[in-house]
Every structure is written in C-alpha cells, then in structure tokens.
Amino acid sequence: MVKIVLIDDDPISAFVTEKLISRNISEPFEFYKFDNAPDALKDIYDINPNYLFLDLNMPEMSGWEFLEEFHPTETDNPEIYILSSSIDERDINKALDYSMVKRYLSKPLIKKYIKSIFS
C-alpha cells in the first residue's frame, strides 16, 4: 500500500492535488492530508509515507521549517516534492539544496508531473 502525505494550507490546491493523484496512480494507496505543518510533523513518523507533497508558504510553520524539523530514517525516507506557486529561482535552488527533496513542482500541478512521479 502506497502512503501519500500532502501538507498544504490552501484548500483548493489541496483538493486539486488530491484529485490529480487519485486519478493517476494505479496502485492501492492511502492519502493523508494536513492543512498545517505542525500537525503533519506530529503524525508523519507513524504514517511512514512513501511520498510527501509539501507547500512552502504556510502560516505557523513554513515548508522550509518543516524540512528543518523532519528527520526521516534511512529505511523510512519518503520522496519529497515541493509544491509552490513561487517561480523564484532562489526558492527552486534552495529546495534542491535539501538532499531529501526529489523535485520542485509549480502550482497548479499538472497531470504530466503526477504521471511522471507515479509511473
């Protein structure tokens, strides 16, 4: 069973992302959605996700702060995808400085991105 975590405070973006993923993944999956990073950080180690989609700009705790606090183990290491409406090169480069970040994806997500992740 594939476990997918989405952390995004924008309900419309979260809805679109969830629908895109659910329509383009062929294997059985469980989907966990959080509208803030602190709640996700509390549960993420119990969930042990295979994939993590993370918004950068959120109140309370940003995606950057989440990445600083999240310490996956060697065996429980999800593929992390940054979701952001920012197209600032500095954000893209900063995201890729984190070894655990697989890719930086611009919002709104498109089907091509999701298909490439889950193919």
pLDDT, tens only, 2-13? 999 999 999 999
Q: How far is the CA of 8 from the CAs of 49, 63, 84, 85, in angstroms?
A: 16, 9, 10, 12
Q: DSSP letter at 64? A: H
Interval 63-94: pLDDT, tens: 999 999 999 877 778 999 999 988 889 999 99
Task: List alpha helices for 25-97, DSSP H.
Answer: 37-47, 63-69, 89-97
Give the separation between CA 34 and CA 102, rounded to whole angstroms: 20
Instruction: Read off the tokens for 13.
Output: 């973006």
